[in-house]
């Protein structure tokens, strides 16, 4: 972890970075670390408007598993949007990996 100070605030350099461009959106994935631990900062940039979520490292497995599950479901769906609510899938994982 590399920290520099800008005024009163420490600026932490990412441990790793990825950039994903999808249509008109840009997603920045930054693996970061601070005094409380490691986390993933995911920033969505749409035409200069940014939204960010922070995912603690303890939730990486559950997040990646849920994401992979949804990708697998999406691959089985027809190209047109679903209109029938009964065909929707729900699934919940805890950070420990147990299905809830």
DSSP labels, 10-46? EEEPPSEEEEEEETTEEEEEEEEEETTEEEEEEEEEE
- Pairwise CA distance, residues 11 & 14, whole Å: 10
- pLDDT for the residue numbered 33: 95
- Pairwise CA distance, residues 53 & 41, whole Å: 6
Question: Is residue 11 scored above 60 in pLDDT?
Answer: yes
Which is more confident, 6 or 32? 32
- pLDDT for the residue numbered 6: 56
- pLDDT for the residue numbered 81: 73
Within-domain flag for 9: yes
Within-domain flag for 100: no
What is the span of the domain harbouring residue 67?
Answer: 3-87
CATH code of the domain covering residue 46? 3.30.2450.30
User: What would the two tokens of residue 58 be?
Assistant: 């303890």
Within-domain flag for 11: yes
87-99, pLDDT tens digit by residue?
A: 566 666 666 655 5
What pTM did the predictor assign? 0.69
Q: How far is CA 84 from the centre of its chain?
A: 28
Within-domain flag for 99: no
Domain count, the chain: 1
19-70, pLDDT tens digit by residue?
A: 999 999 999 999 999 999 999 999 999 989 999 999 999 999 999 999 999 9
């Amino acid at each position: 972890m590399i920290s520099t100070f800008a005024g009163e605030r420490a600026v932490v350099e990412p441990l790793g970075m990825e950039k994903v461009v999808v249509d008109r959106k840009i997603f920045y994935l930054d693996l970061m670390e601070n005094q409380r631990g490691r986390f993933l900062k995911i920033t969505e940039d749409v035409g200069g408007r940014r939204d960010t979520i922070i995912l603690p490292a303890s939730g990486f497995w559950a997040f990646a598993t849920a994401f992979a599950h949804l990708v697998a479901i999406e691959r089985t769906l027809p190209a047109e949007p679903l209109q029938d609510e009964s065909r929707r899938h729900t699934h919940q994982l805890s950070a420990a990996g147990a299905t809830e």
